[in-house]
A and B are shown apart, each in its own frame.
Chain A
Amino acid sequence: MSDLYVVLVVTLLSWIGIFLYLLKMDFKIRELENK
């Protein structure tokens, strides 16, 4: 059972990382568009 939680946490952290990266890129593009 604990292995399942480890994989869950790793998957969640990976997604949060990807999500924040996409969000950061989105904001940067918006900044350039508004310039």
Chain B
Amino acid sequence: MAWKIAVGLWMVLVIIASFLYAPPALGLGEVSRIIFYHVPLAWVAVLAYLVSMVNAVQYLRTGRMEYDRRTSFNAEIGTVFALLATITGAVFAKNTWGAYWNWDPRQTSIFVLLLIYAAYFALRSAVDEEEQRARLSSVYAIIAFLTVPFLVFIIPRIYSTLHPDPIINVEGRLKMNTQMLQVFLASLAGFTGIYFWVYNLQTRIIKLQEKFKRK
């Protein structure tokens, strides 16, 4: 329990630091502070999709239903975080490019990613038989994750985009001053902590469901 309280307090500090300690990025103004939320949200989405894929592989190897449930709820977490990353990105776009949505390669690729995972949930709800649903959706979850590196890391770098340079860019350099970097890394750690907390809750709920089923 202590580490969960620590995550809560850590995020309070991160939020305060993101507004009062870190300076705004040059040329982008105060709206640039959204980077302390937008990038960690996207990072957690990718992490959750990765864990979802790993659990899908585990399900296909062992046939244990708990892995299927883990695959599914990690896809849910990933999609919620990807949606939040899209929304924060749109707020940034409105303030810097003048429109919430303008089909920039970054926006298009995250939209396609959301559609791919929406299809995963549609597939799950379309199959009634539990084992068949688990098998089909596990295969789909693996294929879906294969698109993530292309849609998140590769395609937006191939086409010219209005999106600011990625944090770690083609030159392999970090383009942030020290204070911004400190808050950014602290935020990444905090959001990762939130992910593990939600993961912990969901895993315990699955165990409880199994227990009640057996009774």
Whether the pair A23, B8 counts as a contact (CB closer than 8 A) is: yes
CA distance A4 to B201 in the complex (A): 34
Q: Contact residue range for chain A? A: 10 to 19
Given A7-B19, A12-B16, A29-B205, verify A19-B198 contact (CB < 8 Å). Answer: no
Q: How far is the CB of A22 from chain B (nearest CB, A)?
A: 6
Chain A residues within 8 Å of B15, by CB: 8, 11-12, 15
CA distance A8 to B20 in the complex (A): 9
CA distance A32 to B20 in the complex (A): 41
Question: A9-35 toward B: CB 8 Å interface, digit per residue (1/0)?
Answer: 001100110010011011001001100
Q: How many residues of B contact A (CB 8 A)?
A: 17
CA distance A25 to B1 in the complex (A): 12
Chain B residues within 8 Å of A22, by CB: 4, 194, 197-198, 201
Given A23-B4, A29-B208, verify A8-B19 contact (CB < 8 Å). Answer: yes
- Nearest residue (CB) in B for A18 is B194
Q: Quick check: is B12 within 8 A (CB to CB) of the other chain?
A: yes
- Nearest residue (CB) in A for B1 is A26
- Nearest residue (CB) in A for B7 is A19
B interface, CB within 8 angstroms of A: 1, 4, 8, 11-12, 15-16, 19-20, 30, 194, 197-198, 201, 204-205, 208
A interface, CB within 8 angstroms of B: 3-5, 7-8, 11-12, 15-16, 19, 22-23, 25-26, 29, 32-33
